[in-house]
Amino acid sequence: MHSTAVYQSLICHPDDENAAHQQACALLELAAAWRPMPDLTILITDDTGVAIGRAQQRDGRTYSAEHRRMHERAARLFARLARDDTARMPVLDRRTLSAGQLVADMARLIDTAPAGCLQEPWNAAADHAAGSRQRTARPGHACDSAATSS
């Protein structure tokens, strides 16, 4: 869901990082109204230029300046969304971790994830039984305040 929200928002707002962030948050909130969000999404960051170089080598093609710009913007927006929701979206940086450390850290995050589901933005289970899917804000969630602050 994060990838869809990020890329759709960047396409809709090619020159406005804040508007793209607000739209990505709104798309994630809309998705959460209809299905549970993942309890854990691990964001693996890297130097965008290095990652693009690997992709070009792997795919046998050269990325245009516009493709590079899109990937750089996506990296910034993914990082911003991760800062908004640190409970669900921890960040691992490839620049500081070996491949073995990266895999070990991913395994640790998965193994230590909460046993039950994290709080969802709709009402309690009793409301589900009654068929209500009213959305409620997540206290302290940066997306909620960003969407209403400007």
The Cα 45–Cα 108 span in angstroms is: 17
Spatial distance between the Cα atoms of 125 and 99, rounded to a whole number of angstroms: 41
Q: Which of 2, 9, 18 is nearest to 145 (CA)?
A: 18
pTM here? 0.75
Q: What angle do CA 92, 3, 69 make, to 5 degrees?
A: 85
pLDDT band at 139 (very low <50, low <70, confident <90, very high): very low
State the residue for tokens 């990652």: 51
Give residue limits of the domains in the chain.
Answer: 39-114+121-149
Structure tokens at 93: 């940086």
pLDDT of residue 102: 96
Between 56 and 130, residue with greater pLDDT:
56
Per-residue pLDDT at 106: 95
Res. 58: pLDDT tops 60: yes
